Chains A and B, each alone.
Chain A
Amino acid sequence: GQQVMQIPQYQHVQEGEDFTTYCNSSTTLSNIQWYKQRPGGHPVFLIQLVKSGEVKKQKRLTFQFGEAKKNSSLHITATQTTDVGTYFCAGVSGYSTLTFGKGTMLLVSP
Chain B
Amino acid sequence: DAGVTQSPTHLIKTRGQQVTLRCSPISGHKSVSWYQQVLGQGPQFIFQYYEKEERGRGNFPDRFSARQFPNYSSELNVNALLLGDSALYLCASTLGLSSYNEQFFGPGTRLTVL
Q: Taking beta carbons and an 8 Å cutoff, which residues of A are in contact with B?
A: 1, 4, 6, 30-31, 33, 35, 41-45, 48, 50, 88, 90, 92, 97-103
**Interface size, chain B (Cβ < 8 Å):** 22
How many A-B residue contacts, CB cutoff 8 Å? 56
* Majority DSSP secondary structure for residues of A touching B: strand
Q: Known pairs A1-B59, A48-B102, A50-B100. 12 more at Cβ < 8 A?
A: A4-B42, A30-B99, A33-B102, A43-B90, A45-B103, A90-B43, A97-B48, A100-B35, A100-B44, A100-B45, A101-B42, A102-B41
Which residues of chain A are near B104, meaning CB under 8 Å? 45
Tell me the smallest distance from the CB of B67 to a CB of chain A, in Å: 18
Pairs of residues from A and B, 8 with the lowest C-beta to C-beta distance, nearest first: A100-B42, A92-B99, A42-B105, A45-B102, A97-B56, A43-B105, A100-B43, A97-B45
The B3-42 residues at the A interface (CB cut-off 8 A) are 33, 35, 40-42
Which residues of chain A are near B90, meaning CB under 8 Å? 42-43
